[in-house]
Structure 1
């Protein structure tokens, strides 16, 4: 079993917490865009409350442990590892509750190059414990607006985890996919389930638009987010995201393996 102390040390060594790769300038820019309701950073969330830049900074101080000094505009941003550990415990508890109910669960990521293995191990464990891991609408085309214009992507699943692929990408079932913040994929998945009369997920696990898009529609959602993704933490503050775990989401895939072990142990799902 991985102790909290060992995981805390790993979070700092791998720069998943402490000084992280996301720059302070990038985070502050995200807060400005969110305050302006820019869809690029809303991730499918439609906040009920009015959030200005200072509100968002205070929220991120509370949720992530970033600096509250608005005059600090450069250098790396910072995540408090204690906040990460606390959120991982809550994340594991939601998985444990889903298993207790044998709930249908949907996994999806906008960071397949980094986080696919993390989610896939969780999906394997929940499936083995009796949960239905949902994989509807595989191959469905989705038009997603990107900085390069509208791209038609394909929905795919790898080891039970949903992702999207850009045109010309490798074949369905391969372990690469596109980085996306869009909530459209989760909306397509949920619509396919509803149209087919299949059970909707009782829990969505992932990041970016997968979490915020599901939470906006009233489905319980938990996920990972860095300091440049205020939408998940706003969703948590407003009660539409159950758990948002603050950590750097762009590290090497192998860096997340200890987190998988820790979460599975805390959820009593270790093999």
Structure 2
């Protein structure tokens, strides 16, 4: 069993928390764009409240532990590992609850190169516990606007985790997917779940638009987010998203394995 102290040390050593790679400049840019309601940063959230840049800095200081001083405009952001640990416990509690009742779940990621293994381990454990892991819309096309223009992607699943691939990239069972913040994939998947009659998820687990898009549609959603992704934390503050774990979402994939063990243990799903 991984102790809280050991996980805290790992968070800092792997730079999942503490000083992280995300720069203050990147985060402040995201806050400015969110305040202007730029859809690229809203990623599926339709805020009920008015959020100015100072409001967002205050929120992120509270949720993540970044500096609450708007005059600090340079350097690396800092995530408080204690906030990460508290959120991981809440994250595990929601997973444990859905596992206990053998519920239906959907998992999806916009960071397949980094986070697919983390979510896949959760999907494996939930399936073993009797949960239904949904995989609707496999192979369906999704048109997403990127900074390079409109791009068409294909929905794919590896070990029960949804993500999108570039067209023409073969499904090889590996995480060769595209990085995206868009909520369109989860909207497509949920619409297909209705059409296919396979049931709707009681819990959506993921990041970026997978969490925001599902939460905005009224599904319970939990996920991971970096300091430059204010939408998930706004969703949590407004009651649209259930739990958000603050951490760097783009470190090496193997650095998330201790988090997997910790979450599964706290959710009573250790194998």
Query: Does residue 2 of structure 1 match 2:2?
Result: yes
Q: Classify the secondary structure of the residue corresponding to 1:19.
A: strand
Q: Classify the secondary structure of the residue corresponding to 1:107.
A: strand
Which runs of 5 or more structure 1 residues have no equivalent in the other structure?
none
Distance 2:20 2:175 in 1: 26
Distance 1:199 1:172 in 2: 27
Question: Given the two structures, how large is their TM-score scaled by the length of structure 2?
Answer: 0.99
Q: Which string of whole-angstrom CA distances, capped at 9 and with x for unpartnered residues, describes residues 50-99 of structure 1?
A: 10001100000000000011111111000000000000000000000101
Which runs of 5 or more structure 2 residues have no equivalent in the other structure?
none
Query: Does residue 221 of structure 1 match 2:225?
Result: no
What is the CA-CA distance between 1:172 and the residue it aligns to? 5.3
Runs of 4+ in 1 over 4 A off after TM superposition: none
Give the total of aligned pairs. 271
Distance 1:172 1:107 in 2: 19
Q: Is the 8 A contact 1:139 1:172 kept in 2?
A: no
Distance 2:15 2:201 in 1: 33
Q: Classify the secondary structure of the residue corresponding to 1:162.
A: strand
Where does 1:223-238 land on structure 2 (aligned, <5 Å)?
Answer: 223-238=223-238
Q: Could you say which residue in structure 2 is the equivalent of 1:211?
A: 211
Q: Could you say which residue in structure 2 is the equivalent of 1:197?
A: 197
Distance 2:127 2:201 in 1: 13
Q: Which string of whole-angstrom CA distances, capped at 9 and with x for unpartnered residues, describes residues 30-61 of structure 1?
A: 00000000011111000100100011000000
What is the CA-CA distance between 1:197 and the residue it aligns to? 2.1
Question: Given the two structures, how large is their TM-score scaled by the length of structure 1?
Answer: 0.99
Q: Could you say which residue in structure 2 is the equivalent of 1:258?
A: 258
Q: Which string of whole-angstrom CA distances, capped at 9 and with x for unpartnered residues, describes residues 160-203 of structure 1?
A: 00000012323353321000000000000000011122210000
Distance 2:113 2:259 in 1: 16
Distance 1:265 1:194 in 2: 33
Q: Is the 8 A contact 1:120 1:159 kept in 2?
A: yes
Query: Does residue 84 of structure 1 match 2:77?
Result: no
Q: Could you say which residue in structure 2 is the equivalent of 1:95?
A: 95
Q: Which string of whole-angstrom CA distances, capped at 9 and with x for unpartnered residues, describes residues 2-40 of structure 1?
A: 000000000000000000000000000000000000011
Distance 2:217 2:107 in 1: 16
Q: Is the 8 A contact 1:156 1:172 kept in 2?
A: no
Q: Is the 8 A contact 2:136 2:196 kept in 1?
A: no
Query: Does residue 21 of structure 1 match 2:15?
Result: no
Distance 1:117 1:23 in 2: 26
